[in-house]
Structure 1
Amino acid sequence: MPSDTEHHIHVHLDRLLAERGMTLTELADRVGVTIVNLSILKNGKARAIRFSTLSAICRELGCQPGDLLTYGS
């Protein structure tokens, strides 16, 4: 089992926000999550994400979870 700091999940929030012309602040307001928590996710430092948060992000960005998160080394 990998350690808590070792994972290979990549978050593509920056790209999705840029493609949609949306700021992190705007997304935070729409989703109801703090900018700090979204920033942690955006920077790949998050250890977990709630399905409700993932659903809300996908709803607001008009994307699928696989557009936001990918697995790879």
Structure 2
Amino acid sequence: MTPPTEDDDTGIRCRLDELLAERDMTLAELSARVGVSVVNLSVLKNDRARAIRYSTLRAICDALECEVGELLVLAPRV
């Protein structure tokens, strides 16, 4: 089995936009709370991230009061 490349679709989707809307929170507010730049959060939000540190994932989940599985989900296979 070969490791995924930059061009591979992992099938993992980030629900950051939805979670922010549900909590009436902006990306800038989340950035201030977790200490991650708006640019980096935007990369995650737009499913362009290739990796995320566990500490960052934990900080985002703590700020949004959610579980990892609410933030990152598997997209249905087509």
- Alignment TM-score, normalising by the size of structure 1: 0.94
Counterpart of 1:5 in structure 2 is 7
**How many residues in Structure 1 have an aligned counterpart in Structure 2?**
73
| Max Rg structure | 2
- Cα deviation 1:19-46 (Å, max 9, x = unaligned): 0000000000000000000000000000
User: Following the alignment from structure 1 to structure 2, what is the Cα–Cα distance between the partners of residues 52 and 67?
Assistant: 17
Identity %, equivalent residues: 56
- Alignment TM-score, normalising by the size of structure 2: 0.89
Q: Which protein is richer in helix relative to its size?
A: 1
Root-mean-square deviation (CA, aligned residues, Å) is: 0.9
Deviation at 1:49, TM superposition (A): 0.3
Runs of 4+ in 1 over 3 A off after TM superposition: none
In structure 2, runs of 5+ residues without a counterpart are none
Residue pairs, 1:55-66, within 5 angstroms:
55-66=58-69
In structure 1, runs of 5+ residues without a counterpart are none
User: Following the alignment from structure 1 to structure 2, what is the Cα–Cα distance between the partners of residues 44 and 53?
Assistant: 16
